[in-house]
Amino acid sequence: MTSTETIRAIQENIARVIKGKPHVIEMCLVALLARGHLLLEDVPGVGKTTLAHSLARSLDCSFKRIQFTSDLLPSDIVGVSIFNRQKQAFEFIPGPIFANIVLADEINRTTPKTQSSLLEAMSEAQISFDNKTYPLNPPFMVIATQNPAEYHGTFPLPESQLDRFLMRLRIGYPAPEEEKKVLERASSLHPAEELLPLLTAPEVVQLQDQVDKIFMEESLTEYLLSIVQSTRQSELLSLGVSTRGALALSRAAKALALVRGRTYCLPDDIKELAPIVLSHRIMVARQTGLHQRSFEQAERIIRDLVDTIPVPV
Amino acid sequence: MLLSQALHLTSMLLASASFIGLTLGAGLPEWLAAVTGATLIAVLLRNMGMKPVDRLTTQMPVSAVGWNLIVLGGFVGFWIDLLWVSGDLLPAGLHFLMILMVIKLFNLRLRRDYLHLYAISLVAMLASGSLTTDLWFFPIFSIYLLAGVWTLLLFQLTKTSEVSGDVWMSAHIRHTSHEENHRVSPRLFWIANGLALGAFLITVVIFFTIPRVNAGIYQKGFGENLRMSGFSDKVNLGAIGSIKRDPSIVMRVELPRSPLHDARPLYIRGVSFDQYDGKVWTNQLSYRRSLIEESPGTFTFRGKRAVSRSQLGEAMHQKILLEPLDTPVLFAAPFIESVTGLFPSLFFDATGAVYLPFPSSSRIEYTVVSRATVLVPADLGSEPGPYPEWVVRQYLQLPLQSDRITALAGEVTQKHYRPYEKATAIQTYLTSQYRYSLDAPLAEQHQPLEEFLFERKTGYCEHYATAMVIMLRTVGVPARLVTGFMATEWNEYGHYYVVRQQDAHAWVEVYLPHSGWIRMDPTPTEDNPPAGGPVWKVLGLIVDNIKLQWNRLFVQYSAADQLAVVRELKAEGMSVRNKALDSMTLLFGAFLTVLSGIVPHNVSQVRIGVLGELLGVAVIGLAVLFWLRRSRPWVARSLWEKGRGHELVIAQYYRRMRTYLTGQGFSNSTAIAPLELVEITHARWREAYTAVASITEVYCRTRFGHLPLTPEDLKHTEDQLRHLLELRKPQA
């Protein structure tokens, strides 16, 4: 089975659970293959958790879910050292972060201290504890969810942390007919439980390695950079996209090309991904009077900017 | 061959051409020529992949600063050269230029080094072009032009294929995955050569149509003038003999108005002599008066001719290209009626010889109309008329001599009464009784004429002619000695005579009362074995003709020639051109009026017409090209079979498609990505969808994927584009 076919099979697999959202599933896979982390931002009950769950189920990978609450401590994520009487030594008990796919549910409900404990894991795929470093097994992907509608008792993620997510996605309500299909399911079992794994962890790593081989033409790199430049120069934004953001967009574009069965990137890839990859990395300027943290606002600004950049011909 | 390798090669060729040009034109010192030549060969060998040379040149422990110091040293050397060695700006500058070239050749790393090399070559070429007028410049220039076109083309091509900006990677250590794309294909080969030919043709057109202002500023003289004897006021008997073995070319005489030639020898008259003292001939009538300049450049005798009242033969037109000589005599067939050429003034003396104010140090070209005298029947029949007083006074002088000559003359002519018959008798006597030989002693003799006539009985033209003149004068017939050339070497390919030093000749002019001066030649023809085989002879004739034409058309090319060329062109294609000319005049009438206001009035109307025509052709050609590029991009297909060329063509197709879709009412935003455009088409114009999708697919694959393209793909895309261009979007 070629990589394209494998990827398509996984997409179809997940689509059996998440109805009518092929685009979201595709982006999910892009994040996975680009070795990135995903931030799902949407109202409760549209299938954020189910999406993460079914992705994990489709892969033969370990999956842990952490429900973030205001009293969650870093050790609840990373793990603890317990004194072992037999060995007369402290023993590290790994926390839920030691999994291939980690679902960080409602990440903005916990304190910044706990949130930042995720930082090292997300950027370096390793955990340092008691002066010892524990590498995480690849593939490692954090899927975090947050509810944009609630503000009371939340701790909005700092920019530095948001920057570590490859992309921010919204799922959105399904179309009426798709929603109907969801309701018509006559099964007591959680839909994701029915899925069969299609890929092993090493195979996922192999696919991730393939992304590196996707060819991006020089003019496309320039195109990408001019998009990033425009966010830095725009008067609507007080903070533009960082170099890490540009790198993320490039990786994501390559992953998307692989997902779509190409060996090379197209301007379309970059153009399509720019809003979801870049929008959480920018800050809307105060003077604009726009809602500063609004998902839609930021995405629209990015989309408008991209529409002014000429595509290389 | 890789493009970068080819560029290196053509760059070397460019440098070599300019170097050879400069060496031949300016005469570089041997050591400099050797150093430059060796450097060129070494660099060329390195490019060919010769390992030892490569190691030698790459291991030279000289840093960038070191090179700068060397250049500085060269500059110091230039000043030393300027102040003490050559003492002149031009040679010192040229030496410095060559040194710069050598330094650059060793230091070819960056692209700008190559540009410097081209600049140096250009300056060297310009210098050699202005320093010389010789024929060899033509092949050198052709090579330079060819190499130049190749180099520019390859320089541009390698620029676009170069991935990282300024760093020039040596040709043979380059092994990229796209290597296939950077090779010289047969198509590129022909395109480049075609371009060179085109450039050459344009150069020729410009050369012949743009009025010339001046010749090269530094035009070099032709070295030493040919040393001549026998063409001054005084000539020792036997002087001509010294040059009779010298084959250097003295002049070429073209006969433009007489296409049929019967290969008779042509007598080209120089000066004549009236006084003989037994050893030396002198001209007592050497007082020179200036000729009247009738119209600019044309000098005529207009009735003041020394040979008056004679009946004249047909006018003979000659175009003469005279090498620099050390005599101011202007040679031409007798007798000169008018001379046309770029002279400040001309002089003539009473014997009919024409002189320049001073000997010319460069080649000169002039046209002469002359009319020979003909023998009038009155001189053959009845009584000989009386001689004019000035003839008797000047042309019957005799030196002190032995009676043997008088006796011999009387003996030869005793049966004849009329002067012409006497002359013929003496001529026949000399021709038959004496043997031609160049072995006559050149040393001073006591009585050379007596020795010739009675003792040695061998001699050459001067002896014969002197003998005849003296014998004629003895029997009372006025005569004089004439020196000049007898041209026998007819070049049928160029329709001209080649005249050499060894053709120098002396003959006799006899004065007859009714006819005037009649030429007679007592010298028997020399039986010369032809030199070389017939093939070499023909080849020599052809090469000499090319030399002449080169000099005529390029070196001496003047406004008058220009007009002649244009006239000839006009005459050849008259009927075809007339229509075109008319329509062109209609089209560009206003422009032509303006032009004729600017251009001086002496420029003929024909020229303006031709100029307008050229302009019109250029405009139409450009319009057609532009139209092809815009609406039929497949016509302007790739220059290359493989590689980037296809990418460019496909991108052009895609651009054309986008322009067309914009024209059909689609958004023309440049921010629309390719697949996006396909989707937009899918939503809004279903008929065009297949074509657009197909073109876009191939475009994306080639342009962004750099994937190979099959000819079928290209053909298919072409068809799809054609199909699309025929579609019309229904108005919503």
Interface of B with A in 627-666 (CB under 8 A): 651, 654-655, 658
The answer on pLDDT for B49 being more than 60 is yes
Q: Range with the lowest mean pLDDT among A142-146, B16-20, B596-600?
A: B596-600
| Model pLDDT for residues B412-442, shown as the tens digit of each residue | 888 888 888 888 888 888 888 888 877 766 5
Higher-pLDDT residue of B310, A89: A89
How high is the ipTM of this complex?
A: 0.82
Task: Transcribe A14-51 into DSSP letters.
Answer: HHTTSTT-HHHHHHHHHHHHTT--EEEE--TTSSHHHH
Nearest Cβ partner for B655 among A215, A218, A313: A313
Report how far apart, in Å, the C-alpha atoms of B527 and of each of B148, B298, B460, B492 are: 53, 40, 13, 22
Three-state DSSP string of B98-148:
HHHHHHHHHCCCCHHHHHHHHHHHHHHHHHHHHHCCCCCHHHHHHHHHHHH
- Check CB contact under 8 Å for B674 and A266: yes
The pLDDT of residue B522 is: 87
Q: Return d(Cα B216, Cα A150) in angstroms, integer.
A: 90
User: What pLDDT does residue A250 have?
Assistant: 93
Of the candidates A247, A239, A219, A235, the residue with the CA atom closest to the CA atom of residue A309: A219
**Chain A residues in contact with B655 (beta carbon < 8 A):** 313
- Do the chains contact at B670 and A266, CB–CB below 8 Å? no
Query: Would you say the CATH fold of A212-306 matches that of A3-207?
Result: no
In B, which residues are within 8 Å of A264 by CB distance? 700-701, 704-707
Of A265, A308, A309, the CB nearest to B704: A265
pLDDT of residue A97: 87
- A309: chain B residues, CB-CB within 8 Å: 671
In terms of CATH, what superfamily is A212-306?
Answer: Magnesium chelatase subunit I, C-Terminal domain (1.10.8.80)
3-state secondary structure of A111: coil
Contact status, residue A141 vs residue A37, Cβ threshold 8 Å: yes
Residue B141 identity (one-letter amino acid) = F
DSSP per-residue string spanning B357-395? SS--SS-EEEEEEEEEE---GGGTSSPPPPPPHHHHHHH
* Cα B244 from Cα B486, distance rounded (Å): 12
pLDDT at B554 over 70: no
Tell me whether B682 touches chain A (CB under 8 Å).
no
Model pLDDT for residues B86-127, shown as the tens digit of each residue: 777 777 888 888 888 888 887 777 778 888 888 888 888 888
Tens of pLDDT, residue by residue over B178-192, are 444 556 777 778 888
Identify the band that residue B569 occupies on the pLDDT scale cut at 50, 70 and 90: low
Instruction: Name the minimum distance, in Å, from the CA of B624 to any CA of chain A.
Output: 25
Min Cα distance A289 → chain B (Å) is: 27
Is the pLDDT at B27 greater than 60? The verdict is: yes
Contact residues on chain A for B674, CB-CB shorter than 8 A: 266-268, 311
Per-residue pLDDT at B79 exceeds 70: yes
Predicted pLDDT at B526:
64
Alpha-helical segments (H) within chain A: 3-15, 22-33, 48-58, 74-78, 112-124, 159-162, 176-184, 201-211, 218-233, 243-259, 267-278, 295-306
Using a CB-CB distance cutoff of 8 angstroms, which residues of chain B are in contact with residue A313? 651, 654-655, 658, 670, 703
| Whether pLDDT at B133 is above 50 | yes
How high does pLDDT run on average in chain A?
85
What is the bridge-based pairing of β-strands B364-373 and B336-341? antiparallel
Tell me the nearest-neighbour CA distance from A307 into chain B, angstroms. Answer: 5
Measured between alpha carbons, how far is A80 from A92 in angstroms, rounded to an integer?
6
Looking at residues B342-353, what average pLDDT do you find?
83
With a cut of 60, say whether residue B605 has pLDDT above it.
no
CATH architecture of A3-207: 3-Layer(aba) Sandwich (3.40)
Closest chain A residue to B677 measured between Cα atoms?
A268
The kind and range of the H/E element at A167 are: strand A167-169
Q: What are phi and psi of B727, to 5 degrees?
A: -75, 150
Contact with chain B for residue A64, Cβ under 8 A: no
B404 inside 8 A of chain A by CB: no
Which positions ≥6 away from B130 have C-beta within 8 Å?
A: B216, B217, B218, B219
A20 pLDDT higher than 50 = yes
Nearest-angstrom CA–CA distance, A174 and A182: 9
pLDDT at position A253: 93
Cα separation, A68 vs A142, whole angstroms: 13
CA atoms B552, B554, B558, B562: torsion sign: positive
Choose, out of A250, A254, A313, the residue to mutate when testing the contact with B (most B CBs < 10 Å). A313
With beta carbons less than 8 A apart as the criterion, state whether B666 and B680 touch.
yes
In the predicted model, is pLDDT for residue B217 greater than 60? Answer: no
* H or E element in which residue B480 lies: strand B479-487
pLDDT category at A30 given cuts 50, 70, 90 is very high
CB pairs under 8 A between A and B: 53
A213 touches chain B (CB under 8 A): no
B572 pLDDT tier (thresholds 50, 70, 90): low
Spatial distance between the Cα atoms of A279 and A237, rounded to a whole number of angstroms: 11
Measured between CB atoms, which of A263, A268, A309 is closest to B676? A268
Q: Can you give the residue ranges of every domain in chain B?
A: 3-209, 557-631, 644-726
Give the type of residue at B506: A
Q: Which range (A282-296, B62-76, B183-197, B492-506) has the least confidence?
A: A282-296
pTM score of the predicted model = 0.45
For chain A, state the CA radius of gyration.
Answer: 20
Each residue's pLDDT tens digit, A103-145: 888 888 888 888 888 877 888 888 887 788 888 888 889 998 8
Indicate whether B597 pLDDT > 60: no
Indicate yes or no: CB of A264 within 8 angstroms of CB of B704: yes
Average pLDDT, chain B: 75
**pLDDT value for B117:** 87
> For A267, which of B163, B655, B673 is closest by C-beta distance?
B673
Please, which residues have CB within 8 angstroms of residue B548's CB and are 6 or more apart in sequence? Answer: B252, B254, B321, B491, B494, B496
The answer to whether A275 faces chain B, any CB pair under 8 Å, is: no
Smallest Cβ–Cβ distance between A266 and the set B163, B654, B700 belongs to: B700
Domain ranges of chain A: 3-207, 212-306
**pLDDT score, position B36:** 85
Residues 152-191 of B with CB under 8 A from A: 163
pLDDT digits (tens, 9 = 90+) for A160-182: 788 889 998 888 888 888 888 87
Q: Backbone phi, then psi, for B117, in 5-degree steps?
A: -60, -40
Q: Does residue B494 or residue A12 have the better pLDDT? A: A12
CA-nearest of B487, B590, B8, B4 to B250 is B487
Query: Are the C-beta atoms of residues B641 and B187 closer than 8 Å to each other?
Result: yes
Kindly list the residues from chain B whose CB atom is less than 8 angstroms away from the CB atom of residue A222.
none
Distance CA A195, CA B690 (A): 38
